[in-house]
Chain A
Amino acid sequence: NAGVTQTPKFRILKIGQSMTLQCTQDMNHNYMYWYRQDPGMGLKLIYYSVGAGITDKGEVPNGYNVSRSTTEDFPLRLELAAPSQTSVYFCASSENRGLVTFFGQGTRLTVV
């Protein structure tokens, strides 16, 4: 049971480049989330999904897009990378009662 898997683990982007952070879970969870973690700031919600085909904005959605075509996958897209998007990104999923949220290992993104 792999849980929540994120790829890549590390990435360096140039300003203006685009990329997709991949996230997949094998627990058949309906709820999936993307958070970013900046030093000393805790985690902030970027986007979330309550099921396939349904997504919504979180606290800090600007500069990002998501899609949820299957229950398993929840990719996060950065269209025009900016230095302010340098952060550690965590994908997470939650079972239907919300008692436990499982986090991926994170993607450390640097925009230069």
Chain B
Amino acid sequence: ELKVEQNPLFLSMQEGKNYTIYCNYSTTSDRLYWYRQDPGKSLESLFVLLSNGAVKQEGRLMASLDTKARLSTLHITAAVHDLSATYFCAVSGGSNYKLTFGKGTLLTVNP
């Protein structure tokens, strides 16, 4: 059974600081996704990582993948209040692209 663990589950940051969210998964997977969810809203796709060593960046967010360690990280650089949201990682395997999600990290960026 594929399991996905995120940590931390809650993260309170000051604006301007850096931090990393970790995502571990239990079995081999061929792709890793990061999503953002604002309160009461749907999920917004941030990144999809397809291979070992993949790194993608968008603004203050950078995601990376280490398939050997079964670990992905979402690094936040110089946080701003607009980044406050819940961030989910998810993995899929096989040809039907079902997603198994972590529990999410609730990020709060304080001024």
Size band of the interface chain B makes with A: 20 to 34
Residues on B with C-beta less than 8 A from A61 are: none
Residues on A with C-beta less than 8 A from B102 are: 42
Mark interface residues in B80-98 (1 if CB within 8 Å of A CB, else 0). Answer: 0000000010101001111
Contact across chains for B88 and A42 when beta carbons are under 8 A apart: yes
Minimum Cβ distance to chain A for residue B30 (Å): 9
Residues on B with C-beta less than 8 A from A102 are: 45
Those of A53-105 within 8 Å (CB) of chain B: 56, 58-59, 90, 94, 98-105
Those of B23-64 within 8 Å (CB) of chain A: 31, 33, 41-43, 45, 48, 50
Contact across chains for A90 and B97 when beta carbons are under 8 A apart: no
A-side residues, CB < 8 A to B, are 31, 33, 35, 40-45, 48, 50, 56, 58-59, 90, 94, 98-106
B-side residues, CB < 8 A to A, are 4, 9, 31, 33, 41-43, 45, 48, 50, 88, 90, 92, 95-104
